[in-house]
Structures are given as C-alpha cells and as structure tokens.
Structure 1
Amino acid sequence: MSYKTLKSGELLNIHTLGQLKAAGYQSKSIKDELRENLILKIKNKEQVFEGIWGYEDSVIPDIERAILSQHHINLLGLRGQAKTRIARLMVNLLDEYVPVVTGSELNDDPLQPLSRFAKDLVSEMGDLTPVGWLHRSDRYTEKLATPDVSVADLIGDADPIKAATLKLPYSDERVVHFGLIPRSHRCIFVINELPDLQARIQVSLFNILQEGDIQIRGFKIRLPLDIQFVFTANPEDYTNRGSIVTPLKDRIDSQIVTHYPKTLEIGKKITLQEAKLKHGQSELVSSNNLMDDLIEQIAIEARQSEYVDSKSGVSARMTISAYENLISTAERRALINGEDKTYVRIADLVGVIPAVCGKVELVYEGEVEGPVIVAQNLVGKAIRTQFLNYFPDPEKIKKAAKDKAGKNPFKPIVEWFMDGNIMDILNDGPDKDYSARLRTIDGLDDLIEKVYPAMQGREKLFMMEFVLHGLSEFSMISKKTLEKGLQFKDLTDSLFDLDNFKFDDEDDEDQDDKY
C-alpha cells in the first residue's frame, strides 16, 4: 500500500511509527511540499493565492518562481499591499497533514527525529512510538518584529525553572527552553516588519537561514531545522526606524516588490471584497457603481497629492475603512429618520473624512493645511475627476462660451443660483426633504433626463446631487461647509459674503472649502 494513495481519513488512523512505516510514508522537506503542491496547482489551472487582486502578472509569478526555487522570501512594499495575507495563504500549499512524534515540542518527524525528547522516545519505544498528525493550518507562525524582541524569544534560552524542576545541571541540554523558531520546525515562519528587528537580533538568524541550525547559550546543539521563512518589510523602514543588515539580506534568496492597485477597478474589487458590512446595513443601504468609484478615486488622489507623504504610501485599508464609514453614515441617517430603506448620497462622503485623516501621513505642507482640510480636498478632487466620466467638461464649456460657440447644458442650473437661490443639503435630512430640495433647482432634473433618460428614483436624485458637487469643483457654483451639512449658492455672491472669510474667533467648520 503506497502512502501516496492514502486519503486524509486513512492517515489519521495511523497511530504508531510502525504503522507509518508500513503505509510507505516518506519524509520530505517543507520546501519540497510547497514546490510539489504548487506544481500540481499550476498544472490543474487552480488559483494559488485566492482573493489577491492586481498581482496576477507581477507579484504572484515572482512568488511562484521563488517557491519553485525553494527560496526564503522577503516581501518588500508599502503598507496595505497584502504582504502578510500572501504569506498566510502559502499555508494552502502545504500537505494537509504531516506526522509528528506525539508530545514533541518541535513537531518532530517520526522518521527523522530532531529533539532530544523525540530521539529518546523513538530509541526506547521503536515502532510503538506514538504518532500524531499536524494539520497545515497549525504549521504557520507569525511574529511582528519590535525593538523588544530578544534572541531568547526567537531562538531560546536556558530555563532555570525547568532545571530546578527536573533537577538537572545547566550543562544538560534538557534545560533549554526553545524559542519560536525551533518550535516552528516543519512550518512557515513569518517575521513582519523585519527592519524593526534590532541588528544584533537579525544576526542571530544568519545560521538558521544558511545552515538551518541554531546555537543556544553555548550548548553543543545542532538542530537542522526545516523552515520556510517569509519576511515582510516596508522600504521606508530602511531610513526611518532601521534596516535589514547586509549579511541577512544576502541570505534571503528572493526579494519581491509589491505595489498598490494599478487600476481603479482592481482597487475597487479589493475594497468591496474586504469591507466588513453587517447584514442589516446591506439590507438598509443601497449604493451604486459611481460611489464605489469615488471611494477608490480618493485613494488615487491621495497617492498623487503633494500634501501626502508618498514614501509612506496610502494603504488599501483607507478605502476599506472609508467605504465602511460611508455605508454607516447612510445607515445612521436612515435610523435617525425612521426609514426602512435609504440610498447613499454624495453628501455622505462627509463620513469618510475620519477614515482618510487616520490613514494618510502628511508632509509639512499638509500638516500646515491640517488633516481635515487635506481630506476634504482629496474628496473634492475625486469628485472632479469622476465628474468628467459622466458629464461634459465644464472647463471646455467655459471656453466655448467665451468663443460664443456651443451650448452650456449647465446654464439653467447656474442661473438659478445667480438669481439668489441657495440650496442647503443637511447631512441627516430625511429622504423626502432631500428629494424635494433637489427638485426645486431649475434645469437639474432636465439635465439628468437628457443625459441619462433611463435613470429613475433614488439613483436619479443621487446623480442630481452629484451635478451640484461637480459644478462646485469646477467653480461654476459655490459650496460651503455648514455645521450640519452643505450649502450651494452663486459663486459671485459668495465672493462678497463675509461669512466665507475666516476670522480668528470663527469655528473651523464654518468656512468655504479651499477648493
């Protein structure tokens, strides 16, 4: 009977070393497991890293090449680029179960015992040595590198309590307490943020990576550990907090550079996949593709902004948090007004400001402006960019008007505001009031009817509000932030409105947006 033909259920019925030998089990290294199972998945056209988007033609092929080459891997990239998630998904390339000597601290292979405990047990019991089975989900260890991590944490140290309990001298290797790395024998071991590890601690990894063994407090122990190492690092860490020491970097076989989503569609896919919405939220709040695009566009604008530190990056977590806040903003409004259903509004983007403020690192100029102002500007730029995907370019229309050529589809709307009319959109206003207010604006309903004749109901109201925000971003009308909402009015009139000027004793919330 060949081990290869045995199913998981049959493997779990093997309880001794003798039965394992009779089944034809043959030991193999963890890198052989990863390589062989990857080859099978590639041949069967199976997706290896499920849920990872945007890396299909860049990062994932590099990782697969590294696994086929049986390399230790360093994933180098800015925050929020799925480095840790990729490392965790590598577990799926391991065999479902591997045998271990029951009671062993180091996941000893019964056919190739490593620890003193396992060797003594096999020597004493022979084929009757008890065997257990370790599932692949338990063969993953992750450690966040922090300045307080010690060699004892990772490698091990002499344990005085164990020495006293077992009545052994410190010269006996049985008093050694093994650290995380030896306990990860036959496992994937991940060290996140490697540059944060002190240089002297990084030095302790040299032998493990090159020769696969460890040394503890001068004990003559040689443990040929079988470990797949995966490291993650942020390139900014090389200059800010620390660096990877050169000899260690030399021992990491493959360094793979990750990146942010290269298209809005990929970023949107990641955001919608990762956003954690409750069932009640999904039932209560409806959204649309344009709003999804706007959330992702904010991140794109942030990565290009002169106020945001590009070296620090803009994590994908920003758009995920922003999307969750957006839905919660609409949900809260519906709960306040006792509504069973609601639809997102452009004004609900006020709810994403905290998510943006908490996820971007600002340069000096951005700190001077203030995180809230920078976040509002990013939202405004996202609206401006997406507006051109749905409506004519107001800039071109302005130029055409100067040349007395062409027709301005926004003219009735702008003239309505020029007549002295003002439109307030309250953050928590009920849907009926929201609808009634928008429909009072001359030409707004007609514009949507002409450009999107099939659009009806709440989606149409959403697009009507989008027009107002878009026109304000192109300086055709004015938009002002109020304490409880937004106010749209004529641009020329706002220039002479003293309320738009900020004096020292005025509240920051009651001023014109910079854009």
Structure 2
Amino acid sequence: MNIAKITTLGELKKSGYKPLSVKEEIRKNLITRIKNKENPFTGIMGYEDTVIPDTERALLSRHNILYLGLRGQAKTRMARQMVELLDEYVPVVAGSEVNDDPLRPLSKYSRDLIAEYGDATPVTWWHRSERYGEKLATPDVSVADLIGDVDPIKAANLRLSFADEQVIHYGIIPRSNRGIFVINELPDLQARIQVSLFNILQEGDIQIRGFKLRMPLDIQFVFTANPEDYTNRGSIVTPLKDRIESQILTHYPKTIETALSITEQEADILPEQQDVIDISDLVKRLIEQVAFEARSNEYVDKKSGVSARLTIAAYENAVSSAERRAIIHNEPKTQIWISDLVGIIPAITGKIELVYEGEQEGPYQVAVNLLDRAIRSQFVTYFPDPEKVKKKKPTGKKSQEAKVEENPYRSIINWFDSGNSIDVLVDMKDAEKIAALYQVDGLYAFVKRFFPQANEKEGALLMEFVLHGLSAYSLISKKVIDGRIQFKDLIGSMMNFGQMNFEEDDLTEDDLN
C-alpha cells in the first residue's frame, strides 16, 4: 500500500485497507516473527526460556500484561520493544486527539468531521514509534492526568456549554488509543486512581466530570510492579489485578555468562578507553560476582533487589580507575588490576539497600565485604580450593616438594610468615606493580604451574589475584589504607592489631625491658 497517495477517507476505502485492533495487529505480526524464527525482543538476555515465551503467549492471547519483578529486570524495556510488533503505519483522522481510525471513529470530533466531508475527510498516517505512551505512577497522579477533565478555557474559546462533549480535554490514556500504554510502578498509584481504570480495561467506558462516554478504547496495556511495593508503599487493588489477564514474573540473570553479556552490551565504554585499557575475563567475572553475592548477602535487603545497573556502573568505574592511573603516569596502555576494583565501591554503595544490620556495619564496609566474597567465590574456579588445602593433615616426614604438592600455597604463605610484606598502591605504575609481585617467593611459579600460557601482564594479574584470594581465605592478611593495599602474614597482623589496643600506661617496667 502506497500511503503517500492515500490522503482522504475515500482513497483509504478504495485501497482495501481493513482495520485491526491493536492487539490483533500485535498478534498478527508476532505470529510472523515466530514463524520466521525471529526474536521480537532483541537485546534482552536471560529471558529466552522464561519471560519472553510467557510474553509471547500473553500477546497471542490478546491479554493486558503485568510484569512483576524487582528493580533492574528489564520490565519497561520489554514493554517498549512491543512497539516493533505494530504495523509500521496506520491511518488516523486528521486532527483527532484520540487517533481515530477513519473506518471506526470514536470521538465526536471525528464523527462530525466524517459526517460533514464524507469521503473527502482528510487522513494522515501514524508511525509505530509514536504509538507508545508511558506514565510513571506516583501518588500525585490524578484521574485528569490519565483519563481527562473538562477544560473551561476550551469551553470559553469555543463558546460551548460544559454539557458539550467538545469541552473535554483528554488524558494520556485516551490519547494513546490504538497504541501501547505502560504504567510503571502500578502499586504507587493511589487506590482511587486505580479504580478509574476498571471500566477502561473491561467495558471500554470512561467517565469525565459527569460525562459518560461510550469510548471502547483500543489499547494494549502493560503494567509493571515491584513485589516490595505490595507491602511498603501500596498495593494493586484486587479488582484491577483481576482485570489484568497475564501476570509475568521477571528475574535476574541466572548465570554469570548471561550477566556478562548484559553488562558488555549496556556499559558505556568510550572508544578511547577501549584503546588504552585491557579488560580481562577474570576482572569481568569478579564484577558480576559482586552482584550475585549481594543478592544473597545477609546485610542487603533482598526485597529491594540488586539491579543489573550495579555491575554496569561498576564495570564503567573499573575502566575509569585504570584510565585515571594511565593518565597520571602517561602510560599508553594498561589493564584493569584487582587493586583497581577499589574504584567500584561507589557503584556498589549507591545500588544496594541495606537491612538494619547492614546499616550498622556501614555501606562502605558492606561493599568491601561483597568484593572480598566475590574474589573468594571466583578464586576456586581458577586455582585449588584453599579450604580443602587447609583441612589436609600432614602425614609424616615429607620432602619439601611433597609438602608443596600437598599444599601448593605453602611457599607463598611461608614467605609472608617469615616477616615479609608487600605494598601495592592503587595508582602504582604497571612496571612497579609487576616488580613488587615478583618479590613474593613462589608466586610466579605457582601461577605458571596453572596458567603456563599466560603472558607477563596476564601472569602478573593472576599473581595479584592469588594474593587477594589467599587474603579472602584468611591465609594471609590484607589491609587497605588510603590507596595502599598491604599484604603480610596473618599472625603478625593479628599481633600488631592486638598491640595497638594497649596504652603505654598499661605497660610495666618488665614489659619495656
């Protein structure tokens, strides 16, 4: 159909155009997508076997939809992508506020216009990108905002009485007629406002200041809600929930691989950053693991959820930490070190809600603990589990080689137990950091044993990872003070900490001798 040549109602009739409801339109185009093995929700990962099939079933059933899930679970993105299931263009009566179908007009304006001009009634074409309306539910949203109200200024300008239908100023829902309309955070809408949606969803009646209009609006409704809202801020009134035919539960990524793909897609890394910064798979996995740890952590409010935005922001912060260090030292190329992950703590503290015990612990300390737990969880996917090594009991006299085989970390831990320590500055030059790591006896040999193909920088990153991992498993100590990370033996650190608690006045003359 050449829409450029169709500008009147008569030409539209001759073209053979047959109107469809918006839900029938979506259904028709979805069937075509499914037959062609095309994913209608591109860029949404982890929902291939859960949310997307549920959504397709709901749309095939011509249902209104409620997405129920925690924050950062792509609920609104799912709704916005439904626009691609609409026809590219549909005809509307020119000047209609409610996007009347020329063959099935609803408003008085369009009916009067067609009665006056007949087949000469002007027709315009509406692109699918404009057929989407969205409203964030807040307590101050009114019925007038959603449905409409009498406009006294319009009545005065047109010299009409308030009894005339033309004085109505339509709200956002009637103006979304023949499109998709989304209400985000539905429970935040006051109960009396939710009640105003009953007839729109079921019978198609709307009532404005005494006007009872029979306007069977043609809308695909999508609602989103967070389960937390049902107890903390409000609830969806039961009759409204009963009128929403399909409730679909969303969820967070179930695997690290899915989470990695989402972060890679969504993180806004500039080309000049990509040219300077190498980002290892190890670092990416550590960042994703932080979110997984947070979702099961006793200090984090599980009802609030941990959004995928945490790892996206953390990933961007990690890149910027390495970039800042490269700028300071005028280095043309660098990589993200484990020590750079100190820079992601602001991204963590801003994205988690804490329970009372977490507030007592403090957001910073909770974030540090989450990072340590992430290191601990990922460590065993690269190296032997230190917990199992610690539980092994020595059996008789053995050679040094046999002891190392029994505990591959022995030579590294012994080096620290001998009173040695290593300081790693967050803003340290790469060459200086590598030189510092090579001071630790047995560390390079240990990494080469498990990763013989690693180049110098990869090996150095793994060497640093080993130190953080041994610290996370309490085999050596780690202190982070003002941009400096110090690794030393565990017992010595504990004794030094204990000595700090003594005042000089408590010491006897024998102690001083």
- TM-score by length of structure 2 reads 0.94
SS at match of 2:406: coil
Distance, in Å, in 1 between the alignment partners of 2:501 and 2:280 is 36
Distance 1:225 1:210 in 2: 10
- SS of the equivalent of 1:472 reads helix
- AA aligned to 1:349 is L
Equivalences for residues 463-482 of structure 1 within 5 A: 463-482=462-481
Match of 2:272 among 259, 270, 280: 280
In the superposition, relative to structure 1, how do residues 383 and 96 fare at CA in structure 2: closer, same or farther (>3 Å)? Answer: same
Equivalent residue for 1:511? Answer: none
2:412 alignment counterpart: 413
The corresponding residue for 2:65 is: 73
- 1:121 matched to 2:113? The reply is yes
- Give 4+ residue runs of structure 1 displaced > 6 Å after superposition: none
- Secondary structure at the aligned position of 1:171 is classed as coil
Aligned with 1:81: secondary structure?
A: coil
Whether the 8 Å CA contact 1:494–1:500 is kept in 2: the answer is no
**Aligned to 1:191, what secondary structure does the other structure show?**
strand
The yes-or-no answer on 1:213 pairing with 2:205 is yes
Structure 1 residue 254, shift from structure 2 partner: 0.5
- 1:331-350 alpha-carbon deviations (Å, 9 max, x no partner): 11111111111101001111
Correspondence 1:48-447 to 2 at 5 A:
48-403=40-395, 406-447=405-446
Give the C-alpha shift of residue 501 in structure 1.
5.8
**Quick check: 2:177–2:218 contact (8 Å CA) kept in 1?**
yes
Q: Is the 8 A contact 2:205 2:212 kept in 1?
A: no
C-alpha RMSD of matched pairs (Å): 1.5
Pick which of 114-123 and 377-386 moved more: 114-123
Question: In the alignment, does 2:10 pair up with 1:12?
Answer: no
TM-score by length of 1: 0.94
Matched AA of 2:267: A
Structure 1 residue 260 displacement after superposition: 1.0
Give per-residue Cα distances to partners, 1:424-483, cap 9 Å, x unaligned: 111111112111111111111111111111001211111110000001111111000111
Is the alpha carbon distance of 1:229 and 1:500 closer, same or farther for their aligned partners in structure 2, counting shifts above 3 Å?
A: farther
Alpha carbons of structure 1 residues 85 and 403: separation in structure 2 relative to 1, 3 Å: farther
State the Cα distance separating 1:353 from its structure 2 match: 0.7
Q: Which residue of 2 aligns with 1:36?
A: 28
Name the SS of the counterpart of 2:212 in structure 1: coil
Provide the C-alpha distance between the structure 1 equivalents of 2:187 and 2:233, rounded to a whole number of angstroms.
7
Q: Verify the 8 A CA contact 1:401 1:408 in the aligned structure 2.
A: no
In the alignment, the residues of structure 2 paired with residue 169 and residue 502 of structure 1 have an alpha-carbon distance, to the nearest angstrom, of 84
Residues 68-103 of structure 1: per-residue CA shift (max 9 Å, x gap) = 110000000111111000000111110011011111
Q: In the alignment, what sits opposite 1:450?
A: 449
How far is the alpha carbon of 1:33 from its aligned partner?
0.4
Change in CA separation of 1:56 and 1:107 when aligned onto 2, cut-off 3 Å: same
CA distance in 2, matches of 1:374, 1:138: 45
SS at 1:434 equivalent: helix
Q: Does structure 1 conserve the Cα–Cα contact (< 8 Å) formed by 2:91 and 2:123?
A: yes
Q: Give the equivalent residue in structure 1 for 2:484.
A: 485
Structure 2 CA distance for aligned equivalents of residues 464 and 132 of structure 1? 67
Relative to structure 1, the CA distance from residue 220 to residue 384 in structure 2 (aligned partners, 3 Å threshold; closer, same or farther) is closer
SS of the residue 2:37 aligns to: coil
What amino acid is aligned across from residue 416 of structure 2 in structure 1? Answer: F
CA contact (8 A) 1:401 1:407 kept: no
Q: Distance in 1 between matches of 2:70 and 2:274?
A: 31
Q: Could you tell me how far apart the structure 2 residues matched to 1:42 and 1:194 are? A: 30
Give CA-to-partner distance per residue, 1:30-89, whole Å, 9 cap, x none.
000010111111111011111111111111111111101100000001111110000001
Equivalent position SS for 1:221: strand
Unaligned segments of structure 2, at least 5 residues: 397-402, 503-513
Cα deviations across residues 198-235 of structure 1 (Å, max 9, x unaligned)?
00000000000001221111113221110000000001
Matched, 1:495 2:494: yes
What is the rounded CA distance, in whole Å, between the counterparts of 2:232 and 2:258 in structure 1? 30
Shift of 1:393: 1.2
Measure how far apart 1:502 and its partner are: 8.1
Q: Secondary structure at the match of 1:220?
A: strand
Aligned residues: 496
Higher mean Cα deviation, 81-90 or 122-131? 122-131
Which is further off, 431-440 or 68-77?
Answer: 431-440
Deviation (angstroms), 1:485:
2.1
Partners of 2:276 and 2:332 within 8 A in 1: yes
Q: How has the CA–CA distance of structure 1 residues 122 and 499 changed in structure 2, closer, same or farther, with 3 Å as cutoff?
A: farther
CA contact (8 A) 1:303 1:314 kept: yes
Secondary structure at the counterpart of residue 54 of structure 2:
helix
Which digits, 9 at most, give the CA deviation of each residue in 1:109-154, with x for residues without a partner?
1111111221111111111111111111100000000000000000
1:396, 1:156 → 2: CA distance? 68
2:507 match: none
Q: Is the 8 A contact 2:65 2:247 kept in 1?
A: yes
Q: Report the Cα offset of residue 285 of structure 1.
A: 0.8
Segment of structure 1 superposing worse, 110-119 or 246-255:
110-119
Q: Secondary structure at the match of 1:190?
A: strand
1:503-514 to 2 correspondences below 5 Å = none
2-structure distance, mates of 1:93, 1:129: 29
For 2:467 and 2:308, how far apart are their aligned partners in 1? 29
User: Could you tell me which residue of structure 1 aligns to residue 508 of structure 2?
Assistant: none
Task: Quote the offset at 1:180 in angstroms.
Answer: 0.3
Tell me which amino acid in the other structure corresponds to 1:347. S
Deviation at 1:414, TM superposition (A): 1.3
Supply the AA of the counterpart residue of 1:130: P
Per mean C-alpha deviation after superposition, the further-off stretch among 490-499 and 314-323 is 490-499
Structure 1: unaligned runs, 5 residues or longer = 1-5, 504-515
Q: CA offset at residue 401 of structure 1?
A: 4.5
* Distance in 1 between residues matched to 2:197 and 2:168, nearest whole Å: 18
Task: Give me the whole-angstrom Cα distance separating, in 1, the residues matched to 2:56 and 2:487.
Answer: 54
User: Measured at CA, do residues 403 and 128 of structure 1 come closer, stay the same or move farther in structure 2, by a change above 3 Å?
Assistant: farther
Contact 2:206–2:212 under 8 Å retained in 1: no
SS in 2 for 1:497: helix
Letter of the 2:175 partner, please give it. R
Higher mean alpha-carbon deviation, 66-75 vs 218-227, is at: 218-227
> Is 152-161 or 490-499 further displaced after alignment?
490-499
